[in-house]
Amino acid sequence: MIEQKIYEDYVAAMKNREKEKAGFLSFLRAQLKNAAIETRSETLGDEKTLEVLQKQKKRLQETIESVQASGRDDLRQEAERELEFLSAYLPEPLSEEEIRRIVDEVVQSTGASSMKDMGRVMKEILPRTGARADAKEISLLVRQKLSS
């Protein structure tokens, strides 16, 4: 279970006096606890845990982009380190080729032919890719496929 692995890594970071990693993992644990409270459950399953981790990944990527524009190199490096810590718990992302293959399959199986069908196609693709692909990237590939 991913949530248990995060806890174990947090304890190990505390024992090894890795202050930055322990701080970030503590923050992640708090986010997971908040999500569990929202769903009124004791713990989250791996699927819900991955959703929370994906949100944090997106937040960190947006932080990196905005900090780069302001020229704050120290904050960018901190966000990149946190993203590196986080990536240890996320599944390996799908390659663009694999995403294109899934898009092609779904477009063919649904009979989608225009941009009007985009919502239906996305609804089919997102459960297949799960946390292994960025929805923005999928959306871009679907747009390309349906507009050609």
∠ CA(35), CA(36), CA(40), 5° rounding? 120
Per-residue pLDDT of the chain (148 residues; tens, 9 = 90+): 888 999 999 999 999 999 999 999 999 999 999 998 988 888 788 788 888 888 898 898 888 888 888 878 888 889 899 989 988 888 888 888 888 898 888 888 888 887 888 888 888 888 888 777 878 888 888 888 888 7
Range list of β-strands (E), 54-97? none
Range list of β-strands (E), the chain? none
Cβ neighbours of 115 (radius 10 Å): 12
Predicted TM-score (pTM) of the model is 0.70
Per-residue pLDDT at 12: 94
* Domains of the chain with bracketed CATH: 2-87 (1.10.1510.10), 96-147 (1.10.10.410)
